[in-house]
Amino acid sequence: MKILRNLAVVAAMGVAATVTAAPAMASAAEGYLVTRCANGGYSIEVRVRYLTTGTNHVFNQVSWKITGNVGSQNTVRYHFIQDATPDTVFKVINYTGGKTGTRNISVTRPKPHQVYVKLGARFDTSASSDPGCTSQTRGI
C-alpha cells in the first residue's frame, strides 16, 4: 500500500510540474526560411528569420552568403509573397553588396496568410553580362 501511495504522489508531482511548465513557454515561435540557387560557378544561400505569434508572421532579418569568384556589387532581391490565387507580392527588399550580409527588417503578415519568399540574385563578375539565379523558400 505504501508503494502505491508513493507512486501516486510522484505521479501527481509530475502532472503538477507539467502543468506549471506549460505557461513558461514562449508565445512566439522562431524559424528560418532558407533557399539556395546557383548558376555556373556561383551560388547563393539566403536565410529569412521570422517569428510566428498568435496573430502574425513577423519577418525580422535576412542574410545571404555567396560562393564563387564575385565582386562587391552583387544584387540580392527578396520578394515576400502571399500564396493566393493569384499570388500577391506584398514587399520587395533589395540589397547590393559583397559575398555575405545580414540586415534587420520589419515585415509583418497576418498568420492565416500563407507566405513564402522568392530569391533573385545577380552575381557581380568580370564577364560581359552578370549571371543570376532565382529560387523560393517553403511556405509558412
Does a structural domain hold residue 9?
no
Per-chain mean pLDDT for the chain:
86
Q: What is the mean pLDDT of residues 10-36?
A: 60
Residue 13, domain member (yes or no): no
pLDDT the model gives residue 81:
98
| Domain that residue 80 falls in | 27-136
- Domain count for the chain: 1
Q: What span, in angstroms and rounded, lies between the C-alpha atoms of 49 and 47? A: 6
In a domain, 105, yes or no: yes
pLDDT in tens, 75-126: 999 999 999 999 999 999 999 999 999 999 999 999 999 999 999 999 999 9
Answer yes or no: is 117 within a domain.
yes
CATH of the domain at 31: 2.60.40
pLDDT above 70 (res 72): yes
Return the pLDDT at 27. 64
In sequence order, which residues have a C-beta less than 8 Å from that of residue 95 and are 6 or more positions away?
62, 64, 75, 76, 77, 101, 103
Q: Which amino acid, residue 21? A: A
Predicted local distance difference test score (pLDDT) of residue 127: 87
Closest Cα partner for 89 from 136, 54, 131, 121? 136
